[in-house]
Amino acid sequence: MNESVECEIKLERSLIQDGPKFLSHKLIVTDRVAYLKPTISSMLFCFVYIVVGMFLISLASYVLLQSQKLDLAIFIGGFGIAIGTFGVSLIQPFLQRASFDKHSGVFNNKRDRDVKIKHIVSLQINNKVVIRKQALSYRCFELNMLTKNGRRINILNHNNAVQLELDARKLAKFLTVPLLDLRREIVL
């Protein structure tokens, strides 16, 4: 029995609920490859935590060697390990490079299954509001791709609308697919 079921897909619904409040990535396009590169500011944000964590671990070693206060050294060192680990966990997604490779004909983002470039039918821009319980809400934007098999995969997610639109237009031109701008006015 070969039945097809039609269902409505709400394309304006965001794929990811969260998103950074800063420009996290930029698109780099060459002749054969387009890839996302983390911005210097996003990398520095992560490095601050790593450096502070390493400093606190060093401080814990110094305290232990100079004053022999084991409990204080463990406290400072544990705090340093926690902050450093947080920084490493923040930086890992930035180091995984999502790319569109025309030579291999594949999109790879190290999270989802690879997608053949010929199966990409369009790109879309969505906007959303990231709601924080303990802080102010803010606008954020997504760049998603749609495949001929009905999949939507997030490519980029940050709050710089101008840069996201520029990157989306460059990528749509690189892939020779249409760009759907589904942004709508959202009141904060």
Residue 10, C-beta contacts closer than 8 angstroms, at least 6 positions apart: none
How confident is the model at residue 18, as a pLDDT?
Answer: 53
Output b/e per residue, 85-112; b: 16+ Cβ within 10 A: eebeebbeebeeebebeeeeeebbbeee
Residue 187 is predicted with a pLDDT of 42
Q: Which residue has the tokens 């997604």?
A: 93
The predicted-structure confidence for 96-124, as pLDDT tens digits, reads as follows 778 899 999 899 887 778 889 899 999 98
Model confidence band, residue 10 (pLDDT cutoffs 50, 70, 90): low
pLDDT of residue 19: 54
DSSP class per residue in 63-109: HHHHH--HHHHHHHHHHHHHHHHHHHHHHHHHHS--EEETTTTEEE-
Supply the pLDDT for residue 26.
Answer: 86
pTM beyond cutoff 0.85? no
Residue 3: pLDDT band with limits 50, 70, 90: low
Average pLDDT rounded to a whole number, residues 173-184: 85
Residue 30 pLDDT greater than 80, yes or no: yes
